[in-house]
Structure 1
Amino acid sequence: MSAFVFPVLFTLFVWWFSTGAILYLTGLPRWTFKWSMAGATGLLVAALWGLAATRNLTSVAGAYCAFTCAVLVWAWQEVAFLLGYVTGPRRVPAAHGARGLKLFWQALQTLLHHEAALIVLAVAVWLCAGTGSNAVGWWTYLILWTMRASAKLNVFLGVRNLNEDFLPAHLKYLQTYFVRRPMNLLFPFAVSASTAVATVLWAAAAADGASAFTVAGLTFAAGLLSLAVLEHWFLVLPLPAEALWRWGLSSREPTGLSTDLPALPAQPVSVPPVRH
């Protein structure tokens, strides 16, 4: 039983704590951003080294290390995005009246550099761990990447809860690209497919004869995917998901934007409301 319980508890803790820590760091005053980015970059280098060092380590410890390192790699791009360093060439609200493909193109421009960074990091993780005997890190990153892409599309197409409180003040313009509606047509397909894959992973982890390394690795993957499905449900159910990370949101600046970072190009400063 411990072969399942400990990886599940570890996955839950990493998911909850890492999300809260990132929210807390990205809500601090802007003069701290360079230090947070430097720290995240140091952890990124260490994580890539860890993935390379454990690429052929097929032990329970190797699975834990690879999983943790992949999460740290993912955390770097989250920090870089939420701090505003790696976003996209467009850093202003959506044009008034933009709809359909025009709105999609504008939304994509706000994320182009971020999406490019995700691809570069994916290549780095693959080179470090994807072809080794221990591919836990690669599958961890792939799950995070796929499910985040699904969440972005669902938020763009329309969901009930847009979690605007998770955006720091300097990224509030992004909420003008969100659409609020009870649900969209992509949501049931995304959740159903993800749930089916998670079920297969849980079954494989529980299969007779699986090694301790295999059980740990599959449990990490199944647990992470299950939590991603839960996050998708948070988008449409009337639940206060922010309550889970209230401590992380406690650092948000209550008023205004500080000017400690270089100013963005002159653009309209008003932020239109979320689209309905």
Structure 2
Amino acid sequence: MAEYGLPALFTLLLWWFSTGLIIYLDGLRRETFRWTMLGATALLVAALAGLHALAQDTSTAGAWLGFICGVLCWAWIEIAFLTGMVTGPRRTAIPRTLRGWPRLRAALAALLWHELAIIAMAAAIVALTWEAPNQIGTWTFMAFWIMRQSAKINVFLGVRNLSESFLPDHLRYLESYFARRRMNGLFPASVLAGVTTCVLLALAALAPEATRHEAVGFTLLATLVALGLVEHIFMVLPVSADALWRWGLASRPAAQEARPKPSSCA
């Protein structure tokens, strides 16, 4: 059972810690962002090299390391976006009265460079692992991409819980592109697609003919998709996921101001 339980626990802890760390780093002073991006880019180069080196590795270690490389590639995308270094040509809020195609066009302009960066990264990863037997890293990046794209569209169409607190101050203008509704028509389809994918990955991991590489790799992926579903479910709940990453939000100026100041004794 370790080949299922350990990957699932590892994915859960990595998801929780890496999300909180990125939130923390992107809430620091802007002069720290160059160092954050430098470190993230160094890890990205190592991850891309790792994906290429691991492409033919169908061992258990190949599945673990491929997954980690895929996570690091996606982490660069998230950090580049949340630091504001790779967003889009439009960096201003839109009026609440804007509707229809003008609103969609403005939203696309706000995220254009970010979306192109994802496409370029995906193309690079596919090229590095083309027709290779170890695709765990590639599928990891694609799973992140699909889940994040679904989340973006659902937030644009409207959900109950927008998790605005996760946006750093320099990206607050993006709140104007969100819509608050109880639910939108796409949301049930998004959840159904996520559940179906999670079940198929779990069945692939549990299949009697699955190799250890496949059992570990598909378990990692199934858990990742399940966590993406959890993030989606939080969108329609009356409670926020802030409490899960309160330590990451501690770097935000508002959180620092809210801390009780130590009393002094005369």
Please give the range of the TM-score, normalised by the shorter of the 2 chains.
over 0.9
Q: Which structure's residues are more often helix, by fraction?
A: 2
Q: Is the contact made by 1:54 and 1:66 (CA closer than 8 Å) also made in structure 2?
A: yes
**Alpha-carbon offset, residue 239 of structure 1:** 2.6
- What amino acid sits opposite 1:46 in the alignment? A
Distance 2:107 2:181 in 1: 18
Distance 2:92 2:162 in 1: 18
Distance 2:96 2:56 in 1: 53
* Structure 2: gaps spanning 5 or more residues: 256-266
Q: Is the contact made by 2:163 and 2:240 (CA closer than 8 Å) also made in structure 1?
A: no
TM-score normalised by structure 2 residue count: 0.94
Distance 1:207 1:237 in 2: 34
**Alpha-carbon offset, residue 240 of structure 1:** 2.8
Distance 2:49 2:247 in 1: 31
Does residue 1:170 correspond to 2:170, yes or no? yes
Distance 1:197 1:170 in 2: 35
| 2:243 alignment counterpart | 243
Distance 1:219 1:3 in 2: 8
Distance 1:113 1:74 in 2: 15
Distance 2:25 2:129 in 1: 29
Deviations along 1:201-233, whole A, 9 cap, x unmatched?
A: 111111113111010111111111111111100
| 1:52 alignment counterpart | 52
Deviations along 1:26-45, whole A, 9 cap, x unmatched?
A: 00111101100111111100
Distance 1:30 1:246 in 2: 20
Distance 2:74 2:45 in 1: 12
| 2:153 alignment counterpart | 153
Distance 2:240 2:194 in 1: 23
| 2:197 alignment counterpart | 197
Distance 1:223 1:180 in 2: 28
- What amino acid sits opposite 1:239 in the alignment? V
Distance 2:146 2:81 in 1: 17
- The share of aligned pairs that are identical, in percent, is 52
Does residue 1:4 correspond to 2:7, yes or no? no
| 2:16 alignment counterpart | 16
Report how many aligned residue pairs link the two structures: 255
Distance 1:47 1:108 in 2: 29
**Alpha-carbon offset, residue 96 of structure 1:** 5.0
- What amino acid sits opposite 1:7 in the alignment? P
**Alpha-carbon offset, residue 254 of structure 1:** 2.5
TM-score normalised by structure 1 residue count: 0.90
- Residue pairs, 1:136-147, within 5 angstroms: 136-147=136-147
Please identify, of 33-42 and 95-104, the stretch whose mean Cα deviation from structure 2 is larger.
95-104
The alignment yields a C-alpha RMSD, in angstroms, of 1.0
Deviations along 1:10-51, whole A, 9 cap, x unmatched?
A: 110111111001000000111101100111111100100110
- What amino acid sits opposite 1:186 in the alignment? L
Q: Is the contact made by 1:130 and 1:138 (CA closer than 8 Å) also made in structure 2?
A: no
**Alpha-carbon offset, residue 129 of structure 1:** 2.1
Distance 2:136 2:130 in 1: 8
Distance 2:225 2:196 in 1: 10
**Alpha-carbon offset, residue 130 of structure 1:** 4.1
Distance 1:191 1:211 in 2: 29
Distance 1:170 1:196 in 2: 37
Q: Is the contact made by 2:96 and 2:176 (CA closer than 8 Å) also made in structure 1?
A: no
Deviations along 1:166-202, whole A, 9 cap, x unmatched?
A: 0000000000000001100000011011101111111
Distance 2:254 2:24 in 1: 13
**Alpha-carbon offset, residue 101 of structure 1:** 1.2
Runs of 4+ in 1 over 6 A off after TM superposition: none
